[in-house]
């Protein structure tokens, strides 16, 4: 597979180290090895200018005892769990399943549900929130100020409680005119504007000092030193004390108390509602990681705030133990859907933007679907809602008004039209109804996972290139069948000129801004596939003029993004800059279902029930090649393809089907499907979760009958140059099976006498697309371009 690079050697060394974690050690030694590995991979950057920032001055410590997470490790001697003995759950844990002695028992009774609730609460305290005190029984209430404004009574209240009444909580309570009792809209000090709208709608508006702007809960940890609660849990416990106060007021309808918060305040409000059922409604507004988005769907392939990032720049928000699961999110015994299930059957609304960088809207909808089963079981399905907006992370009055519309419905005050709209409403069962397809896997031959690629259809050995080319043609036919029936269409006209026009969504989708290049756009009327958009970055000199190679042309890399609701974005800036500095242009576009094309993907299978989303992605990528070939300054012999995660998968499929792609580099792109274990999503990632290749779903219980798998798909790229980066600790891939697959692929490159064209790098990393990986890819493309000229 080519000369072993230092990267490959590092990967092999790491593989040996990883094995030592599991075998021949005591329990404590195993756990210590996990910790050492984590500290190495997630160590702070030595340059203080680019270290993770402390976001808020008031939270420059982990807790009153420990300044940093490392201080906590030293003080407590805590070690990670023995992950090797923990169950892997690549899919969301089912809140309606009890684990009794390793046996999954479906929950059928209320008593079983209470048992499950207690289990979830215990896990939440251990890994997420920390423990916290019982409610105080010595609360003193002091009215600091009372005034009236436009018939609204406004009171400033101070609550004192706890040991020697040292703990306090300031409130502002705004009561509308009338006899009451009134419903309550409760939020944090920085959301007074939200409460103002609620007052106009006939709610008591209450804000409390549990926010960055004003936080009375900072001292709770020191006042109650016997508990290991996190900063967000202290704020949540403060919210409980506000509810204690509300229960003393005759003007309050205690059956109608709602809490809400935005971003980190949504995360805090979630804990408040999960641990206090007196809060009868919770609205989670853009809580992101730690809020509406399950941790299993927050690693780097989803392009949002990952667990390791969140807990390094905001270590105080959650319990320090949670940080052990960075890169191993699938080992968490519960997830955000589990914690939110504690709120049921009280009212719960999930709200976020479909295109904000801090959230994974597809993952949020998966959370919603899981919660829907819980609410259905409890007979309260109408108490669960989802509200999706557009734009960035922030909110506006229009959003708060919709929050209150939903509360009015929940509290039986009035009905304003409401619909729980989903943008990712795909399910395999729904697709089967739409398509009418029924495929019997028994009609397909069993293919052993270790099936030798150089075996012809008749079972004979393939010994010539001509024989392989014949088999490669059959592989392509199988790939095309798997991708579905592409509807007949026509090609776009050649591009006449590039454009400066952008999509209005680009203003908040954080597109790359590259210092050493200019960018022009292939807008819909410029002929890119079926009315698509794309952006072409090319190198320029100090005068802003295009810099080409000696032949007057530019090689170009088509970059395909990960599972990101932002589409291609600033995360790729360093890769783009590296490629451009090497005299290689970069073309990028959003794949269907992402970025500017989220809505386009929503009803894809209603429109094209027998095609597939991945098939559409491949078609669009090939259309990009058509468009680039029509540009005079693009070297049509040097069109390359690269991508990470989803983009890598699309790159492999496209390269297998289109010989015009001169070289391909991917990272985190695949795991073999025929021998996928329960440790990974396997084929269901494509057929059931993401809805990329529905036909694979018929083989869910017959993986060994899949007609074509990644080893064949990748081998169809031979003998063209190919770089595969597969992080050793990628939890979405079975590393040993990936390695075996690449060994099989190497036999095809050997058949063509081109082993130097195949490169396989295995960094000792989690599922991340690191700067060093991107640099390696840019270096590799430069070498390929130079060698082919």
For the segment 736-765, what is each residue's pLDDT rounded down to a tens digit?
999 999 999 999 999 999 999 999 999 999
Distances (CA, A) of 305 to 41, 297, 578, 593: 17, 10, 24, 20
Burial 460-479 (b: 16+ CB within 10 A, else e): eebeeeeebeebbeebbebb
| pLDDT higher than threshold 70 for residue 256 | yes
pLDDT attached to residue 525: 62
CA distances from 741 to 64, 70, 346, 467 (A): 51, 39, 49, 21
Cα end-to-end span (Å), the chain: 22
Q: Does 46 score more than 80 pLDDT?
A: no
pLDDT class for 501, splitting at 50, 70, 90?
confident
Q: Which of 57-61, 262-266, 276-280, 597-601 has the lowest mean pLDDT?
A: 57-61
Q: Is the pLDDT of residue 55 over 60?
A: no
In this structure, what token pair is assigned to residue 769? Answer: 């697309």
Q: Quick one: pLDDT band at residue 60, thresholds 50, 70, 90?
A: low
Q: Kindly state the average pLDDT of the residues 117-140.
A: 97
Main-chain dihedrals φ then ψ at residue 622, nearest 5 degrees: -65, -30
At 558, list the tokens: 């088509």
Burial class (CB in 10 A: 0-12, 13-18, 19+), 507: exposed
Q: To the nearest whole percent, how much of the chain has pLDDT over 90?
A: 80
SS3 537: strand
Q: Please, are residues 85 and 327 in contact by the beta-carbon 8 Å criterion?
A: no
> Average pLDDT in the 306-318 region?
88
Cβ contact 697:435 at 8 Å: no
Quick one: which of 752, 741, 757 has its CA closest to 669?
741
In this structure, how many other beta carbons lie within 10 angstroms of the beta carbon of residue 775?
13
Give me the torsion for CA of 694, 696, 698, 702, rounded to 10°: -160
Task: Categorize the per-residue pLDDT at 516 as very low, low, confident or very high, splitting at 50, 70 and 90.
Answer: confident
pLDDT at 5: 35
Q: How far apart are CA 341 and CA 472, in angstroms?
A: 49
Which tokens sit at 412? 């039986």
State yes or no: pLDDT of 154 exceeds 50: yes
Angstrom distance (rounded) from CA 170 to CA 475: 68
Cα(240)–Cα(277) distance, integer angstroms: 10
- As a whole number, mean pLDDT of residues 214-218 equals 96
Provide the pLDDT for residue 56. Answer: 37
- Residue 170: beta bridge partners? 158
For tokens 């371009």, the residue is 785
Q: What is the pLDDT of residue 10?
A: 31
Map tokens 């031959």 to a residue.
445
> What's the pLDDT band for 27 if we cut at 50, 70, 90?
confident
Q: What is the pLDDT of residue 207?
A: 98
pLDDT in tens, 227-240: 999 999 999 999 99
Q: CA–CA separation, 54 vs 263, rounded Å?
A: 16
Give 601 or 59, the one with higher predicted confidence: 601
Q: 676 vs 54, which has greater pLDDT?
A: 676
Mean pLDDT of the chain: 92
pLDDT at 310: 87
Could you tell me which of 7, 2, 6 has the C-alpha nearest to residue 725?
7
Does residue 52 have a pLDDT over 60? no
Higher-scoring residue by pLDDT: 570, 537: 537
CA dihedral 383, 389, 393, 397 (to 10 degrees): -80
In sequence order, what are the residues at sequence separation of 6 or more whose Cβ sits closer than 8 angstroms to the Cβ of residue 493? Answer: 527
SS3 letters for 17-48? HHHHHHCCCCHHHHHHHHHHHHHHHCCCCCCH
Percent of the chain with pLDDT over 70: 94
Predicted pLDDT at 526: 64
For residue 499, the model assigns a pLDDT of 82
Residue 2: what pLDDT? 41
pLDDT at 58: 38
- What would the mean pLDDT of 341-349 be, rounded to a whole number? 98
Q: HSE (CB half, 13 Å, CA atoms) of 19?
A: 7
Name the pLDDT band for 328 (thresholds 50, 70, 90).
very high
pLDDT at 350 exceeding the cut of 90: yes
Quick one: pLDDT band at residue 688, thresholds 50, 70, 90? very high
Per-residue model confidence as pLDDT tens digits over 271-299: 999 999 999 999 999 999 999 999 999 99
Confidence of residue 53 (pLDDT cuts 50, 70, 90): very low
For residue 357, pLDDT beyond 90: no
* Nearest 10 degrees: Cα torsion 70, 71, 75, 76: -40
Task: Kindly give the pairing relationship between strand 554-560 and strand 140-149.
Answer: unpaired
Name the token pair of 79.
């070690």
The Cα–Cα gap between 652 and 670 comes to 9
Q: Kindly state the average pLDDT of the residues 49-60.
A: 40
C-beta separation of 135 from 220 below 8 A: no
Q: Give the confidence band of 41 by pLDDT, cuts at 50, 70, 90.
A: confident
- On the question of pLDDT at 17 being above 90, the answer is no
Confirm if 652 and 666 have CB atoms less than 8 A apart. Answer: yes
Please say if the pLDDT value at position 693 is more than 60: yes
DSSP code of residue 215: B
pLDDT of residue 716: 97
Q: pLDDT by residue (tens digit) across 430-463?
A: 999 999 999 999 999 999 878 889 998 888 999 9
β-pairing, 634-644 with 661-667?
parallel
The CB density around residue 222, as the number of other CB atoms within 10 Å, is 12
The closest alpha carbon to 236, from 353, 307, 227, 92, belongs to 227
Instruction: Determine which of 28-42, 96-110, 196-210 has the lowest per-residue pLDDT on average.
Output: 28-42
**Residue 780 Cα distances to 344, 375, 409, 648, 678, angstroms:** 53, 52, 58, 16, 34
CA distance 287 to 236: 14
Q: Is 160 exposed, middle or buried (0-12, 13-18, 19+ CB in 10 A)?
A: middle
Q: Is the Cα dihedral 704, 710, 713, 719 positive or negative?
A: negative
**Residue ranges in 333-464 assigned as alpha helix (H):** 336-341, 361-377, 397-410, 428-435
**pTM (predicted TM-score):** 0.94
Cα(44)–Cα(52) distance, integer angstroms: 7
């Amino acid at each position: 597979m080519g000369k072993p690079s230092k990267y490959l050697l590092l990967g092999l060394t790491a593989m040996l180290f990883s094995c030592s974690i599991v075998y021949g050690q005591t329990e404590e030694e195993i756990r210590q090895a996990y910790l050492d590995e984590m500290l190495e991979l997630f160590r702070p950057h030595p340059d203080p200018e680019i270290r993770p920032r402390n976001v808020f001055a008031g939270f420059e410590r982990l807790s009153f005892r420990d300044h940093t997470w490392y201080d906590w490790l030293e003080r407590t001697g805590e070690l990670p769990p023995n992950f090797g003995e923990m169950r892997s759950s690549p899919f969301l844990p089912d809140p309606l399943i009890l684990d009794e002695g390793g046996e999954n028992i479906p929950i059928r009774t209320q008593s079983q549900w209470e048992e499950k609730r207690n289990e979830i609460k215990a896990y939440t305290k251990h890994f997420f929130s920390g423990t916290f005190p019982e409610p105080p029984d010595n609360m003193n209430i002091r009215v600091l100020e009372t005034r009236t404004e436009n018939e609204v009574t406004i009171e400033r209240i101070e609550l004192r409680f706890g040991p020697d009444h040292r703990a306090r909580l300031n409130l502002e309570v705004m009561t509308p005119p009338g006899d009451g009792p009134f419903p309550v809209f409760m939020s944090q000090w920085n959301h007074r504007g939200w409460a103002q709208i609620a007052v106009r709608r006939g709610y008591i508006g209450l804000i409390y000092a549990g926010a960055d702007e004003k936080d009375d809960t900072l001292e709770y940890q020191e006042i109650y030193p016997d508990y290991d609660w996190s900063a967000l849990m202290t704020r949540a416990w403060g919210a409980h004390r506000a509810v204690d106060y509300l229960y003393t007021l005759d003007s309050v309808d205690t059956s109608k108390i709602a809490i809400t918060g935005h971003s980190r305040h949504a995360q805090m409000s979630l804990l408040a509602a999960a641990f206090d059922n007196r809060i009868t409604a919770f609205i989670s507004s853009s809580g992101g990681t730690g809020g509406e988005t399950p941790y299993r769907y927050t690693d780097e392939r989803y392009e949002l705030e990952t667990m390791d990032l969140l807990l390094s720049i905001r270590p105080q928000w959650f319990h320090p133990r949670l940080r052990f699961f960075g890169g191993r999110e699938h080992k968490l015994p519960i997830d955000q859907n589990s914690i939110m299930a504690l709120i049921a059957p009280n009212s719960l609304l999930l709200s976020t933007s479909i295109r904000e960088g801090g959230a994974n809207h597809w993952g949020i909808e998966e959370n919603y679907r899981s919660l829907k089963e819980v609410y259905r079981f409890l007979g309260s399905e109408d108490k669960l809602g989802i509200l999706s907006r557009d734009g960035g992370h922030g909110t506006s009055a229009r959003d708060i008004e919709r929050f209150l519309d939903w509360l009015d419905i929940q509290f039986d005050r009035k009905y304003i039209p409401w619909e729980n709209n989903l943008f990712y409403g795909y399910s395999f069962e729904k697709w089967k109804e739409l398509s009418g397809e029924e495929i019997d896997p028994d009609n397909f031959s069993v293919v052993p996972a270790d099936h030798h690629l150089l075996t012809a259809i008749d079972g004979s050995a393939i010994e010539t290139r001509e024989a392989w080319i014949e088999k490669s043609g059959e592989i392509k036919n199988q790939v095309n069948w798997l991708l579905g029936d592409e509807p007949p269409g026509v090609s776009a006209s050649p591009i006449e000129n590039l454009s400066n026009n952008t999509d209005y969504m680009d203003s908040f989708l954080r597109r790359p801004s590259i210092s050493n290049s200019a960018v022009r756009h292939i807008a819909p009327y410029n002929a890119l596939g079926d009315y698509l958009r794309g952006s072409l970055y090319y190198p320029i000199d100090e005068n802003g003029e295009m810099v080409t190679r000696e032949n007057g042309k530019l090689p170009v890399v088509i970059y395909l993004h990960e599972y990101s609701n932002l589409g291609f974005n600033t995360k790729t800036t360093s890769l783009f800059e590296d490629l451009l500095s090497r005299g290689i242009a970069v073309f990028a576009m959003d794949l269907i279902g992402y970025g500017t094309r989220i809505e386009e993907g929503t009803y894809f299978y209603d429109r094209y029930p027998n095609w597939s989303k991945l098939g559409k992605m491949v078609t669009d990528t090939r259309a990009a090649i058509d468009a680039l070939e029509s540009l005079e300054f693009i070297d049509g012999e040097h069109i390359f393809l690269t991508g990470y995660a989803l983009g890598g998968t699309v790159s492999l499929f496209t390269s297998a089907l289109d010989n015009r792609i001169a070289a391909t580099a991917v990272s985190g792109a695949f795991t073999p499907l025929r021998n996928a274990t329960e440790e990974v999503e396997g084929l269901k990632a494509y057929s059931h979760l993401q809805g990329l290749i529905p036909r694979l779903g018929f083989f869910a219980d017959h993986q060994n009958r899949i007609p074509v798998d990644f080893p064949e798909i990748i081998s169809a790229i031979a003998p063209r140059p190919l770089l595969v980066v597969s992080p050793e600790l990628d939890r979405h891939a079975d590393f040993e099976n990936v390695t075996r697959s690449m060994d099989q692929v190497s036999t095809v490159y050997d058949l063509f006498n081109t082993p130097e064209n195949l490169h396989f790098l295995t960094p000792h990393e989690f599922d991340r697309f690191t700067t060093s990986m991107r640099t390696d890819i840019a270096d590799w493309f430069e070498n390929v371009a130079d060698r082919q000229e």
